Amino acid sequence: MHVLITGAAGMIGRKLAQRLAGDGALNGQRIGKVTLLDVVSPAQVLNFAGQMEIVAADLSEPGKAARAVEARPDTIFHLAGVVSGEAELDFDKGYRVNLDGTRALLEAIRATGDGYRPRLVYTSSIAVFGAPFPPSIPDDFHLTPLTSYGTQKAIGEALLADYTRRGFCDGVGIRLPSIVVRPGKPNKAASGFFSGIIREPLAASSCTRRVCRATRSVPASIFRCRE
């Protein structure tokens, strides 16, 4: 099978690529080819026996999504996106990447036609929910996002469901909680400091706590997420 990962240079993309390359199979099927796509060239993953393709492309640019699905990947992990803080600060970029890029990918899949119906794994976020909250939020709690990022993710979920209902893809949406502890340098995710307050002190760097100590969140580790 051929697996395409968008956002493959990101924190989850890198871990997922390493995991798939190491396993060499997904759901019991041998992975013959992996395509790693991101706006910057993702790093090669070394321990993979099959074919590995590296693509630098922005899915929101004309023609790029069509080229990404041209080889008809069987499974697509659509992780590409602008993080929450950045989507809030740059309205245009957030909608372009998170909404237009996702729509372009879905449209490219639909346009392929000819019985093409890939498994599409979409990473949504618990930011689709908005306060006020009950003590614990059930799966079917109404979607009232309070950020542009959450709004873009909620629209993506609706698109994924509709394109699946219409038979264009086999969509699975996963709402990720705050992923900690993220490797690498801080990014503009509003939740990034949750990683920073653990990662930086352990590396002997100082870091800053951006919210009140009583702020409650729902972290999970990246190593669970890639299961």
Binding residues (CB under 8 A) for another protein: these are 84-85, 88-89, 126-127, 129-131, 133, 135-139, 146-147, 174-178, 180-181, 183, 190-191, 193-194, 197-221, 223-225, 227
Q: What residues contact 64, with CB distance under 8 A and at least 6 apart?
A: 57, 58, 104
Tokens of 226: 């890639």
Output the smallest distance, CB 156 to another protein, in A.
Answer: 16
Comparing CB distances to another protein, the nearer of 2 and 199 is: 199
Comparing CB distances to another protein, the nearer of 64 and 153 is: 153
- Count CA within 13 A, CB hemisphere, residue 183: 9
For residue 28, the tally of other CB atoms under 10 A from its CB is 5
Output the smallest distance, CB 33 to another protein, in A.
Answer: 26
Q: Is 122 a catalytic residue?
A: no
**95, 116, 122, 149: which one is catalytic?**
149
What's the rounded Cα separation, in Å, for the pair 154 and 175?
10
Comparing CB distances to another protein, the nearer of 2 and 194 is: 194
Output the smallest distance, CB 222 to another protein, in A.
Answer: 8
What per-residue string of b and e applies to 46-68 under the rule 16 or more CB within 10 Å gives b?
Answer: eebeeebebbebbbbeeebbbeb
Q: Which residues are marked as active site?
A: 149
